[in-house]
Structure 1
């Protein structure tokens, strides 16, 4: 069993998902600055996270590759797919490639789209394929990142042909280069059965392995758990509290570091670093997934002596 991190280097297997828009639900994203991103990355670095995943290159996130270099943080750079708007998608991808080419030592992978197979995102298979192929075609114009892999983010069940909607999302697997980014959420899995045990994700991860991860591995790809987490508030009937989230973080660290029936470690992105007050569409727990709270000076979440600590 080896815990060598082939994507970001070193032995750390746990990174974090990051978006800078956490100051308040009422603060416009356009008002966030380079200094805001720099302050966030310092918090991430001080917490000893050595790599992050992002979702877009818009706004203040244009500074991420440069600032990641300053803080020695590896970057899985996200490029958004704009549903039904190929022109905006192309602009996004062009921007991502330009940013990566300027800092090729920090951008380790470029992730096209997020949870593209999720029904609520309304993507068609054709537009996701077109976005990826556009990125692949344009990559030749950026020689410094010619070896940076391109991939697509799907949900954990994305590689399984879906009955509803009737789309064979598994056809995306052959397009991906080296890695498959899959989002996996034991909390949602336990919520379905109304049985919560944040200390044990074994059954949930075995389901995800059988219904997504294994198919990506069979396609010759290394699975990166693109999101995994446990909310700290928002549903009092579903164990959404700091102690449960901290316990689940520890259980996740153990599983992803190779203490699982597969004897395999998985690069993983905890969702997420900071609470995002605006994120209410998914339910009252939406704003409460962070290791840190929100605001101009977010603080590490604590409940008495219980607090998040980095995976060992």
Structure 2
């Protein structure tokens, strides 16, 4: 073999080998990055949008659990929105919804190596006699709480690549939750239990523990909540998950919502747009109030938003003869302004919620609790995400087998016909 030719062949072999090796290494690096994603890296990351998810389609949860294929449909839609972490609420044995979601995600990951989704797994907390015909005893916890925690631990260990957060309770300390709320000592007990399991190696050290509760429960409002047990909870959790609802406060605390005197001469659309800016400022203030208190107890703790949302239909306090907060246009302004703020500030926002669910107010089809979704039950995309339909994000995807289309057939004029100015004269 010619000496020069031999050198050339050697160089080519080395180059090809290095190139193949580099491609292989790159794939391994990408795979490694996916596998090592933790709550610490996900929360506050604008590339990992968060949302609350319930896949229930019928009026009863107990009798009509979503199937794995239905859950996979929904997960693909959320993934197409840029969602990468979802929040669930309970792991009760008669409601295998969360366990089925985890299985559905696991299947999707096996089917598509690019599919990435994580879970904030909720463990529901109750007081004694909650949801029964007996008087709730808020000073004693339900015996089921320990079983609920055990099921959450089992699922976190079964799906460690998916479950990145366990939340102890949902609005479990706020006293207006009269059916079931518990004392902070109960939440503290189970947060400490989970943290000890991490120390003992019985849960991943990277799994984050929190509880998800109303802003007031985190010391952001009524000072009666600022007790020693709450201070200890703040010190024990890995981060604080707070809820804020300007929507509900348009009825219960409407000072910010009413059109001020100096805007009475504005056009209707200006009044509406300004009201939604005030709604955003309302959420920002509640976040700041919680942050100020939490940081005064433990300056290292981060605060993320575990819930906030805006309903699109209401037959009650928030409709035409009430505060008039309810429609898709207002939902669109709130959703997009909220995402812009939280993404910029490095705050994860588990927006409530992905899909409408009709079991929440099963006897009242137009009850606001049924209509917080960004998608309707049929899978129509509401106004906040019309732009994603236009961009083709949902092309080829379905809900219940139906392709994704816009509400109101995408006609904004028709949508705006039902958009009302906040009710300045509303007397609650």
Same fold (TM over 0.5): yes
Q: Which residue of 2 aligns with 1:292?
A: 375
Q: Which residue of 1 aligns with 2:172?
A: 116
TM-score, with length taken from structure 1: 0.83
Determine the C-alpha separation between the residues in 1 that align with 2:351 and 2:168: 19
Q: Does 1:91 align with 2:147?
A: yes
TM-fit CA distance, 1:54: 1.0
Q: Which residue of 2 aligns with 1:62?
A: 99
1:156-208 Cα offsets, whole Å, 9 max, x none, are 1222274567856632211212x100011122334422426224544313421
Q: Which residue of 2 aligns with 1:246?
A: 332
Q: 1:269 aligned to 329, 350, 363, which one?
A: 350
Any gaps of 5 or more consecutive residues in structure 2?
Answer: 1-38, 110-114, 129-140, 259-271, 383-406, 416-428
Is the CA contact 1:52–1:269 (under 8 Å) kept in the aligned structure 2? yes
Is the CA contact 1:257–1:266 (under 8 Å) kept in the aligned structure 2? yes
TM-fit CA distance, 1:253: 1.3
Which structure's relative contact order is higher, taking Cα pairs within 8 Å and 6+ residues apart?
1
Is the CA contact 2:174–2:216 (under 8 Å) kept in the aligned structure 1? no
Is the CA contact 2:361–2:370 (under 8 Å) kept in the aligned structure 1? yes
Is the CA contact 2:98–2:121 (under 8 Å) kept in the aligned structure 1? no
TM-score, with length taken from structure 2: 0.62
Is the CA contact 2:48–2:83 (under 8 Å) kept in the aligned structure 1? no
Q: Which residue of 2 aligns with 1:125?
A: 184
Q: Which residue of 1 aligns with 2:83?
A: 49
Is the CA contact 1:201–1:252 (under 8 Å) kept in the aligned structure 2? no
Determine the C-alpha separation between the residues in 1 that align with 2:288 and 2:102: 35
Q: Which residue of 1 aligns with 2:309?
A: 229
Is the CA contact 1:51–1:74 (under 8 Å) kept in the aligned structure 2? yes
Single out whichever of 193-202 and 227-236 deviates more from structure 2. Answer: 193-202
Is the CA contact 1:14–1:270 (under 8 Å) kept in the aligned structure 2? no
Q: Which residue of 1 aligns with 2:287?
A: 209
Q: 1:75 aligned to 108, 111, 119, which one?
A: 119
Single out whichever of 277-286 and 113-122 deviates more from structure 2. Answer: 277-286
Determine the C-alpha separation between the residues in 2 that align with 1:168 and 1:144: 27
Q: Which residue of 2 aligns with 1:181?
A: 241
Q: Does 1:12 align with 2:95?
A: no
TM-fit CA distance, 1:274: 1.0
**Count of aligned positions:** 294
- How large is the Cα RMSD of the aligned pairs? 2.9
Single out whichever of 217-226 and 23-32 deviates more from structure 2. Answer: 23-32
Q: Does 1:134 align with 2:220?
A: no
Determine the C-alpha separation between the residues in 1 that align with 2:73 and 2:351: 19
Is the CA contact 1:77–1:111 (under 8 Å) kept in the aligned structure 2? yes
1:26-85 Cα offsets, whole Å, 9 max, x none, are 463554333332222122122221111111123132122333342411211111113225
Is the CA contact 1:162–1:168 (under 8 Å) kept in the aligned structure 2? no
Residues 136/87 of structure 1: CA separation in 2 closer, same or farther (3 Å cut): farther
Structure with bigger gyration radius: 2
Is the CA contact 2:58–2:64 (under 8 Å) kept in the aligned structure 1? no
Single out whichever of 105-114 and 157-166 deviates more from structure 2. Answer: 157-166
Residues 51/27 of structure 1: CA separation in 2 closer, same or farther (3 Å cut): closer
- Structure 1 residue matching 2:340: 3-state secondary structure: helix
Q: Which residue of 2 aligns with 1:261?
A: none
Residues 142/80 of structure 1: CA separation in 2 closer, same or farther (3 Å cut): farther
